[in-house]
Amino acid sequence: MKRRYKMNKYLFIYLILSIVFISCKSNENSSPQNKPGTTTNQSSGNTVDYSPHPDWVKEKPSSSMRKAQYRWPGKNGAEDAEMAVFFFPGTGGSIEANLERWYGQFKQTDGTNTRDNAEEKKLTANGLDVTVAYTTGIFLKSTSPMMMGGPVEEMPGYAMLAAIVETPQGPWFFKATGPQETIDFWRDDFEKFSDSFKLIN
């Protein structure tokens, strides 16, 4: 009698372990997994592709908020400029709000409003609406790690050239700042660059 009880006990444990094993395998097979060399993209059509000028130097982004960063070489002794690429899925603010914030990073020697001196234009690149903005003045470069609300260094003779690309998942931002001479040198190439924007999966 005792022996039969032990056998039943072991049989019961075996059945429980078998059920647990089968359940785990079932869950494992039903979970989405990446095959070797592939990634799961849950935001299809979320990436803006572009073709930077071959002379723009790609650098490691100085902040985790930046998708990419490029250095525009200065010409004729002028200092380099920098272009940063930003994208905040589902956020990022409106086009007007961002332009106002960027214009607020400049001041004019004659005291006029930077917005009144800025140049803006709308274009379409491969079905995407793009706003291109340009302004000059004294750049109020933040010296704070948070880049907002802290002390600034005034950089006279600077310019900004930027493009905001509208996508279904939110805007992409391409913003270059630097000495006006350098920004002006690359301005035509930036216009061509803005025509290269396209949405990819």
126 and 167 assigned to the same domain:
yes
* CATH number for 77: 3.40.1000.10
> Which residues span the domain enclosing 100?
47-200
3 and 76 assigned to the same domain:
no
The reply to whether 61 falls in a domain is yes
For the cut 90, the answer to whether the pLDDT of residue 69 exceeds it is: yes
54 and 119 assigned to the same domain:
yes
Question: Tokens 């690359």 correspond to what residue?
Answer: 186
Q: Which two tokens stand for residue 82?
A: 């920098």
23 and 54 assigned to the same domain:
no
Domain total in the chain: 2
88 and 23 assigned to the same domain:
no
The reply to whether 38 falls in a domain is no
6 and 79 assigned to the same domain:
no
The reply to whether 36 falls in a domain is no
Answer whether 130's CB lies under 8 Å from 160's CB.
no
89 and 24 assigned to the same domain:
no
The reply to whether 37 falls in a domain is no
Q: Which two tokens stand for residue 7?
A: 């056998």
Distances from the Cα of 36 to the Cα of 3, 33, 40, angstroms: 51, 9, 11
For the cut 60, the answer to whether the pLDDT of residue 40 exceeds it is: no
For the cut 90, the answer to whether the pLDDT of residue 115 exceeds it is: yes
144 and 172 assigned to the same domain:
yes
The reply to whether 187 falls in a domain is yes
For the cut 50, the answer to whether the pLDDT of residue 35 exceeds it is: no
- Nearest Cα to 135, choosing from 111, 96, 108, 98? 108
Total H helices, total E strands in the chain: 5, 10
The predicted pLDDT at position 197 comes to: 98
- Each residue of 139-183: pLDDT tens digit? 999 987 555 567 999 999 999 999 999 999 999 999 999 999 999
The reply to whether 41 falls in a domain is no
71 and 3 assigned to the same domain:
no
178 and 127 assigned to the same domain:
yes
51 and 23 assigned to the same domain:
no
The predicted pLDDT at position 4 comes to: 46
Write the DSSP symbol of residue 39. Answer: -
68 and 145 assigned to the same domain:
yes
